[in-house]
Amino acid sequence: MKEFIKGFKEFAMRGNFIDLAVGVVIGAAFGKVVSSLVSDIIMPPIGVLLGGIDFSDFFITLNGKHAATLAEAKAAGIPVLAYGSFLNAIVQFLIIAFAIYVVIKQVNRLFPKPAPAPESRKCPFCKQDIADDATRCPHCTSVLDEAATK
């Protein structure tokens, strides 16, 4: 049991685990900010442009009963398809996806591109890859002349 706790402590204190925890917390906070942006800033003007429509109140009742608002339908226990909330969620997803794309694009610019791998040495007879210091080809067993393989 002592070894298990020691192993877990080492795992929990590794950098990747802490980085992941910080990322989850920041992601949750970012999600709340984007949710507020969509529901409080973006969707109301779109609703006004479309004639004063509130997307969060778009729903279809499934049992034929009528309700004026989504809150009223939920309070009455009427089963609904709340497609307005789904539209808001789609807009939120698109904003988050765009933000992540921009951040990743900028992070990739900060790190240099890896150097291309050096071209491998080829056997002049069978054209297979060989070690740089080989004197015989391991594939066709030809004797390699130093000048011929450069």
Output the pTM of the full model. Answer: 0.53
Same domain? For 42 and 11 the reply is yes
Contacts of 43 (CB under 8 A, 6+ apart): 54, 55, 56, 88, 91
CA-CA distances (angstroms) from residue 122 to 12, 99, 117? 47, 46, 15
pLDDT in tens, 61-104: 888 888 888 888 889 888 998 888 888 888 888 888 888 888 88
Buried b / exposed e along 44-58 (16+ C-beta atoms within 10 A):
beebeeeeeeebbbb
Domain housing 134 = 118-150
Same domain? For 134 and 110 the reply is no
Same domain? For 88 and 145 the reply is no
